[in-house]
Amino acid sequence: MSLPDGIASAAAPIIAVPPAIELHQVSVCFTVAKERIVSFKEYVLHRLKNRVEHQQLWALKAVDLEVRAGETLGLVGRNGAGKSTLLKVISRVLRPTQGRVIVRGRVAPLLELGAGFHFDLTGRENVFLNATLLGHPRGPVEERFDSVVRFAELEEFIDLPVRSYSSGMLARLGFSVATMFRPQILILDEVLAVGDASFQLKCIRRIQEFQARGTAILLASHDLSSVAQHCHRVAWIEDGTIVDIGEARGVLDRYSTAMVGAS
Amino acid sequence: MPSTPVPAGPASAPAAVPVYDSARRPHPFVEELLELWRYRDLVLQWSLRNLTLRYKKSALGVLWTLIEPLMLMAILAVVFSTIFKFMDRYPVYLLAGLLLFDFLSRSTLQISDEIVESQSLAKRIHVPRSAFAVAWILTFLVNWLIALLPLLAIMLWFDGQLTWALLTVPLGIVLTALFALGVGLMVATLAAFFQDVRLTYQVLLTAWLYATPIIYPLSIVPESLQGYFRLNPMLHLCTLVRDPVYYERVAAPETWAIGVALSLGAVLLGWWTFTHWRNAFDYRS
């Protein structure tokens, strides 16, 4: 897969390194029971009558993709097109049913900030809980703790239960924990920046700094202007396949034309 | 380690970063073990969370852990003492077995609940869910250590001897913990598929408690039936703990052998069940 000139030169020093993400003919299949069987009793009864029918749902179909270090790739497409499934395959939440995924480096997902926060625990306790949930050992988290709190601007509130936080404070803490270490791959699913205008600027700056230092970024969003603003390349996903991929402007133009035409 | 900032070394040394290759995954059984080791700090943090929440929530805090088994024991002792009055120091016998069974029932139910609950989290981030199971076992081990104080008090109250045999008690509880982890993972796997598993298991636990010589001694069971009672894993695990606590002797070597085999068997089977079927419940939408 060749990169457009502008990006290739920007990523020139690290072009010799293998891509951060490689997908080879990746397919993901979900099994959906036609009748939802929720109890063991029902299952046994159905089994006896030989009636457990399953439907196969292919959320991704033979997707090929390469993302280089330092590159930002936008993902656009309708709800249910397969954007989230693609991100989940890369962040190891799902395994590919077929095909091969290679991810070089640590993946930081910024899917839903503050997932796993416990409201009865203090901000401090939640920082450690969340950081270890994301796979960080405790030692380095302790070292970074003060800078995490400072970035989230929560110095005075860190020993209060998270229950008393506003949604903005929660989002700031979540973002700060999720980005406390520079990952090799950053996954942004609709979440790009949180909080008020000034904090959003801080978020964007941090993400740009990651990128400049070689983090590959995947941004799935319905906000086409922010995709245009941040992404080098864009992949348009439709019905589990990449129907168009290339330089951001061109793909976004074709995508929005198609969307307008469809509605 | 995944989170230590990658040193800005030469670009030709990408070995410093972890590489995930879906085509080169180890067997799920092994993969989950490796991931559990990588997430070991999560295990500790999660147990700490469980303990913090437990002791923050109730006003009595740690005290509750001391009082609860004592009250349960007191009730049962009052009810059954007259029936088993031929038994010397009945409350000691009762509490030793009760604490062990309490550990099994609470930890397995909690593991099952946590695995089911964490499904929504695991759909968003990659996390080895066995970490939660192990964390709960650690949590209940700490609880059990605290509950050891009332047991010691009762032993001393009934003029029990503190013998060297008591040093084998922790080993018995570790074997029970492994057994509970295995059972918990098996129940959790079923519970992730079917909603009625939890209730069924709860009923089975009650039956299991009464089928285990905890409230009564094995000697009152007719000899023709004792063979069946010996099929119950909890009988052997209880013996490992009760022999030093009540009979003031180390359990027989055969019992230890059976205990080790049972707990290793349960934990291996549970781990296999969980890692084998996890795939299937992740892909149901």
What's the pLDDT at A111?
Answer: 65
Instruction: Confirm if B2 and B38 have CB atoms less than 8 A apart.
Output: yes
- Pick the closest to residue A235 from A210, A261, A254 (CA basis): A254
As a dihedral over the C-alpha atoms of residue A38, residue A41, residue A44, residue A46, rounded to 10 degrees, the angle is -60
What's the pLDDT at A136?
Answer: 94
What's the pLDDT at A19?
Answer: 93
Query: What b/e string do you get for A149-183 counting C-beta neighbours within 10 Å, with b at 16 or more?
Result: bebbbbeebbeebbeebeeebbbbbbbbbbbbbbb
Q: Chain A contacts of B199, Cβ < 8 Å?
A: none
Q: Chain A contacts of B52, Cβ < 8 Å?
A: 121, 125
Instruction: Confirm if A76 and A221 have CB atoms less than 8 A apart.
Output: yes
Q: Which residue has the tokens 């979440």?
A: A191
C-alpha dist (Å) from residue B118 to A251, A257, B133, B283: 38, 41, 11, 15
What's the pLDDT at B191?
Answer: 92
Instruction: Confirm if A59 and A85 have CB atoms less than 8 A apart.
Output: yes
Instruction: Confirm if A33 and A54 have CB atoms less than 8 A apart.
Output: yes
- Pick the closest to residue B133 from B193, B201, B181, B194 (CA basis): B181
| Residues 6 or more apart whose Cβ sits within 8 Å of residue B254 | none
Residue B18: which of A40, A93, A105 has the nearest Cβ? A105
How many CB pairs below 8 A link A and B? 146
Instruction: Confirm if B152 and B245 have CB atoms less than 8 A apart.
Output: no
The phi-psi region of residue A62 (left if phi > 0; otherwise alpha if psi is between -120 and 50; otherwise beta) is left
Chain A CA closest to residue B28: A95
Q: How far does Cα B100 stand from its chain's mean position?
A: 9
For residue range B169-214, list pLDDT tens digits in order: 999 999 999 999 999 999 999 998 888 899 999 999 999 999 999 9
Residue B191 tokens, joined: 């519970």
Cβ contact A17–B121 (<8 Å): no
What's the pLDDT at A41?
Answer: 77
What's the pLDDT at A50?
Answer: 67
Q: Chain A contacts of B279, Cβ < 8 Å?
A: 95
Q: What is the mean pLDDT of residues B52-75?
A: 77
The phi-psi region of residue B144 (left if phi > 0; otherwise alpha if psi is between -120 and 50; otherwise beta) is alpha
Q: How far apart are CA A190 and CA A214, in angstroms?
A: 21
Cβ contact A135–B38 (<8 Å): yes
Q: How far apart are CA B126 and CA B71, in angstroms?
A: 42
Asked if B21 is an interface residue toward chain A (Cβ–Cβ < 8 A), one would say yes
For residue range B129-162, list pLDDT tens digits in order: 999 999 999 999 998 888 888 888 889 988 777 8
Q: Which of residues 36-65 of A touch B (CB under 8 A)?
A: 37-41, 43, 57
Instruction: Confirm if B193 and B279 have CB atoms less than 8 A apart.
Output: no
Name which of B25, B32, B126, B127 to mutate to probe chain A: the one with the most chain A Cβ atoms within 10 A of its Cβ: B126
Q: Which residue has the tokens 């009748």?
A: A35
Q: Which of residues 210-249 of A touch B (CB under 8 A)?
A: none
For residue range A178-229, list pLDDT tens digits in order: 999 999 999 998 877 788 889 999 999 999 999 999 999 999 999 999 999 9
Q: What is the mean pLDDT of residues B74-98?
A: 85
Size of chain B in residues: 285
The answer to whether residue A9 scores a pLDDT higher than 50 is: no
CB atoms inside a 10 Å sphere around CB A112: 14
Q: Chain B contacts of A143, Cβ < 8 Å?
A: none
Give DSSP secondary structure letters for B151-178. Answer: HHHHHHHTT----GGGGGHHHHHHHHHH
Q: Percent of chain B having pLDDT more than 70?
A: 90
Cβ contact A16–B193 (<8 Å): no
Q: Which residue has the tokens 């079923």?
A: B190
pLDDT confidence bin for B256, thresholds 50/70/90: very high
Q: Percent of chain A having pLDDT more than 90?
A: 67
Q: Chain B contacts of A216, Cβ < 8 Å?
A: none
The one-letter code for the residue type at B83 is: I
What's the pLDDT at B7?
Answer: 41
* Angle between helices A138-152 and A123-133 in degrees, nearest 10: 130
Highest mean pLDDT among A46-55, A90-99, B49-58: A90-99
Q: What is the mean pLDDT of residues A121-138?
A: 94
What's the pLDDT at A30?
Answer: 87
pLDDT confidence bin for A113, thresholds 50/70/90: low
Cβ contact B42–A116 (<8 Å): no
Q: What is the mean pLDDT of residues A155-168?
A: 93
Instruction: Confirm if B181 and B137 have CB atoms less than 8 A apart.
Output: yes
Asked if B10 is an interface residue toward chain A (Cβ–Cβ < 8 A), one would say no
For residue range A18-30, list pLDDT tens digits in order: 899 999 999 999 8
Residue A195 tokens, joined: 């909080």
Q: How far apart are CA A232 and CA A67, in angstroms?
A: 11
The answer to whether residue B281 scores a pLDDT higher than 80 is: no
SS (H, E, C) B86-153: CCCCHHHHHHHHHHHHHHHHHHHHHHHHHHHHCHHHHCCCCCCCHHHHHHHHHHHHHHHHHHHHHHHH
Cβ contact A135–B284 (<8 Å): no
| Dihedral pair phi/psi, residue B284, rounded to 5° | -85, 135
The phi-psi region of residue A232 (left if phi > 0; otherwise alpha if psi is between -120 and 50; otherwise beta) is alpha
Pairing assessment for the beta strands A107-110 and A185-189 based on DSSP bridges: parallel
What's the pLDDT at A167?
Answer: 87
The one-letter code for the residue type at B274 is: F
Asked if B7 is an interface residue toward chain A (Cβ–Cβ < 8 A), one would say no
Which ipTM score applies to this complex?
Answer: 0.85
How far is the alpha carbon of B1 from chain A, nearest alpha carbon, in Å? Answer: 8
Q: Chain B contacts of A12, Cβ < 8 Å?
A: none
C-alpha dist (Å) from residue B9 to A67, A71, A169, A179: 21, 20, 36, 21
- Pick the closest to residue A26 from A246, A241, A218 (CA basis): A241
C-alpha dist (Å) from residue B72 to B141, B217, B222: 19, 18, 27
The answer to whether residue B1 scores a pLDDT higher than 60 is: no
The answer to whether residue B11 scores a pLDDT higher than 60 is: no
- Pick the closest to residue A215 from A252, A259, A182 (CA basis): A182
Highest mean pLDDT among A98-112, B171-185, B265-279: B171-185
Bridge partners (DSSP) of residue A82 are: none
What's the pLDDT at B58?
Answer: 67
For residue range B107-134, list pLDDT tens digits in order: 999 999 999 998 888 888 899 999 999 9
Lowest pLDDT segment from A3-12, A147-156, B6-15, B179-188:
B6-15
Q: Chain B contacts of A37, Cβ < 8 Å?
A: 194
The answer to whether residue B4 scores a pLDDT higher than 60 is: no
Bridge partners (DSSP) of residue A32 are: A55
Cβ contact B279–A137 (<8 Å): no
- Pick the closest to residue B125 from B24, B16, B35 (CA basis): B35
Q: Which of residues 51-90 of B touch A (CB under 8 A)?
A: 52-53, 56-57
The answer to whether residue A2 scores a pLDDT higher than 50 is: no
Q: H helices within chain A, ranges in order?
A: 5-10, 40-48, 83-90, 123-133, 138-152, 167-178, 197-212, 224-230, 248-262
For residue range A183-196, list pLDDT tens digits in order: 999 999 887 778 88
Residue B22: which of A16, A100, A120 has the nearest Cβ? A100
